[in-house]
Structure 1
Amino acid sequence: EVEAARDTLALDCDGLVVKLNELALKRALGTTARAPRGAVAFKFGAAKEVTTLNSITLQVSRTGMITPVAELEPVTIGGVTVSRATLHNFSELARLDIRVGD
Structure 2
Amino acid sequence: MARLREAGYRTGTALPDTAELTALLEQNGRNMEEWSPGELAGMVSRGRVTLLPMAQYKRWFDALPAAFRQSVLAAWGPPERNPLMRVGAPPLRAPWTARTTP
Length-normalised TM-score, structure 2: 0.25
| Larger-Rg structure | 1
Quick check: which one's helix share is greater?
A: 2
Quick check: which one's strand share is greater?
A: 1
Q: Which has the higher contact order (CA 8 A, sep 6+)?
A: 2
Length-normalised TM-score, structure 1: 0.25
